[in-house]
Structure 1
Amino acid sequence: LMGTALIFGYLVFHDALIFQFMEKVEDIASNFVLAAVPLFVFMGTMLERSGIAEQLFEAVHLWTRRLPGGLALGTVTM
């Protein structure tokens, strides 16, 4: 897709294509909301690798043992 965009953009916009792509990259890079996605994945990886996630699930399972849907409640509260 990116190759098609580059070829079509060069045919239509010629040298202005470089400035348009640089502006788009700057707009996306300065969006702080998108920084939350890799940080959320990193947090999940650290919880899983350190074993904290398993301990949290066990603790929530003890708290919600008698409730229906205890695993779902544990996932939501964690």
Structure 2
Amino acid sequence: MNTMYERLLRSTEDLLYRVRIYDRNLTRSEEITQLDEAYGLMSTALLRSQGSDDHSMEFFASRLQQVRLRLITMMEDLLHPA
């Protein structure tokens, strides 16, 4: 698999781990669980396709980037509450 996709998978997994840690009051646990399940499904699909179809790889990568953006927003909210 392309190193770009591997890096995207690893960094998304790391963000999920960090968001879980910083959600000490479990205020976002349901959303984190949903994102974790979505990440699991996407990473499995991405690993199965392994570059067989460029269009599907790009699709999974764009979805993972959306998950990452949501996780980053959640992390910012958890670290800097209003």
TM-score normalised to the size of structure 1? 0.31
The structure that has the greater radius of gyration is 1
Q: Which structure carries more relative contact order (alpha carbon 8 Å, separation 6+)?
A: 2
TM-score normalised to the size of structure 2? 0.30
